[in-house]
Structure 1
Amino acid sequence: MTVMLRTGLLFCAVLSASSIGPAQAGPSTEPVLPVETVALPQVNVPNLLDEAGEPALSAPVSEPQPAVVEREEPTVSRSADLAAKVAQLRASDPGSRQLECLATGIYFESKGEPLSGQLAVGHVIANRAESGRFPDSYCGVLFQRGQFSFIRGRSLPSAPRSSRHWLNAVAVAKIVDQELHQSPVGNALFFHARRVSPKWRLKRVASIGNHVFYR
């Protein structure tokens, strides 16, 4: 009975194995679409290369800088009269510390004088700077102790930069510095107001406006 049962079970197992097909390793029966017909999703890719194939690196954006305009001094004709030269060179800014000293001396010593008188005062300051007997700069001449009464301490007194007198003083300082106009006082080194009489034993050179000039 046991042998017959085993035989029956073995027979059933054989029948079951014969009804299961082997695994399919061949081509699938599903239709295969060509690659060209497959619709792929569109992805936006940034262009990181320039036309030459190099990486397109974005440069930092800088703010536009204003153009620097250099101010040029007008060309002054030496043959023009003094008033014409002053009119061309009038300015509120002398342009340098030394010219500011020279203009300040002209302004405080002769702002109420005619232009020729202002020119003469400017030439005295310039003559001193070139003489070897005084400091060798306009500022040095002004700050020499006891020479100019408007100097207090080591600072230049302020002048109203928009006033006509200051604009003229700046122009006269430029004329003196550039030797654009000859002064009738020549190489004078000293001057004083007419209202005083210092009894100097010096050679009198000229009298212009309210000042007397000596060398």
Structure 2
Amino acid sequence: MVRRFVLMLAVAAMGAASVAPAQVLPGGATDQVVAAVAKTLNEPIVTTPLSNDPLAPAQVAGSEEPALPAPVEEDKPVAVTRGASLSETVAKLRRSDAGSRELECLAAGVYFESKSEPLAGQLAVGQVIANRSESRGRFPSSYCGVLTQRGQFSFVRGGKWPAVNKNSLQWKNAVAVARIVDADLHDSSVGKAMFFHARRVSPGWRLTRVAAVGNHVFYR
């Protein structure tokens, strides 16, 4: 019954005045009938894939998916000009990996003290940590030493700080700011400031006020 239906379909197609749309034939049709119908409908049978891979599925020309952009190579060196804007430099230096334990400590200070502030405020916080490390005996001589010094940063407990999502944009910005401070790629308005506190408090310090940037007030 199925074979008879297919033969009738082939005869009808041969006599048609116009080209019929693509048809799905019953599974019992012979190869000769399938070829005859396909030839009549002017629709060649695709028996080989379009790619050179013999295991690749057949594709329709022009239907390939667009190529995805190559992943960013985080360790690839980038050219940074000191005169560039802070936002441009941060965009170039964003990384999830700080590259060293010292830079990670500096980035942690920037992140936990100012991650929600403008970049200028983050730069100022990072600059204070760097200034302390260069104080020649007044504070520890390393970023990690400054950060973990007892009683100096409230987010540090027992020399450690909370876990960080290193894939977040805020962490990557903090890493970029740390790299900028460490390489002295951008001036900060706080100069040689050694201390800062949030605007919401007034500790009554007898220090010289240097600037107010973002959510903090800075002193030396």
Q: Which category of TM-score, normalised to the shorter sequence, fits these structures?
A: 0.5 to 0.7
Runs of 5+ unmatched residues, structure 1: 1-68
Q: Does 1:145 align with 2:150?
A: yes
Q: Does 1:110 align with 2:114?
A: yes
CA distance in 2, matches of 1:71, 1:210: 32
Number of aligned positions between the proteins: 147
Distance apart, 1:102 and its partner CA: 0.2
Answer yes or no: is the 8 Å Cα contact 2:74–2:95 preserved in 1: no
CA distance in 1, matches of 2:106, 2:166: 15
Distance apart, 1:72 and its partner CA: 3.5
Moved over 2 A (4+): 69-73, 154-157
Partner residue, 2:219: 214
Q: Does 1:192 align with 2:197?
A: yes
Task: Name the CA shift for 1:70/1:81 in 2 (closer, same or farther; >3 Å).
Answer: closer
What are the within-5 Å matches in structure 2 for residues 87-98 of structure 1? 87-98=91-102
Answer yes or no: is the 8 Å Cα contact 1:73–1:89 preserved in 2: no
Distance apart, 1:74 and its partner CA: 0.8
CA distance in 2, matches of 1:73, 1:107: 23
The 3-state SS of whatever aligns with 1:131 is coil
CA distance in 2, matches of 1:200, 1:82: 30
Answer yes or no: is the 8 Å Cα contact 1:193–1:211 preserved in 2: yes
Distance apart, 1:75 and its partner CA: 1.3
TM-score under structure 2 normalisation? 0.65
Answer yes or no: is the 8 Å Cα contact 1:124–1:187 preserved in 2: yes
Distance apart, 1:76 and its partner CA: 0.4
The CA RMSD over aligned residues, in Å, is 1.3
TM-score under structure 1 normalisation? 0.67
Partner residue, 1:100: 104
Partner residue, 2:165: 160
Partner residue, 2:132: 128
CA distance in 1, matches of 2:74, 2:129: 29
Distance apart, 1:158 and its partner CA: 1.7
Partner residue, 1:29: none
- Superposed CA deviations along residues 152-203 of structure 1, whole A, max 9, x for unmatched, are 1122322111111101000000000000000000000000000000000000
CA distance in 2, matches of 1:98, 1:183: 20
Distance apart, 1:100 and its partner CA: 0.3
Select between 191-200 and 154-163 the one with higher mean Cα deviation. 154-163
Distance apart, 1:70 and its partner CA: 10
The 3-state SS of whatever aligns with 2:131 is helix
Answer yes or no: is the 8 Å Cα contact 1:94–1:170 preserved in 2: yes
- Superposed CA deviations along residues 130-168 of structure 1, whole A, max 9, x for unmatched, are 012100000000110000000011223221111111010
CA distance in 2, matches of 1:97, 1:195: 32
Runs of 5+ unmatched residues, structure 2: 1-72
CA distance in 2, matches of 1:83, 1:103: 16
CA distance in 2, matches of 1:71, 1:118: 23
Identity of aligned residues (%): 67
- Superposed CA deviations along residues 17-36 of structure 1, whole A, max 9, x for unmatched, are xxxxxxxxxxxxxxxxxxxx
Q: For 1:90, give the aligned amino acid.
A: R
Answer yes or no: is the 8 Å Cα contact 2:82–2:186 preserved in 1: yes
CA distance in 2, matches of 1:209, 1:117: 5
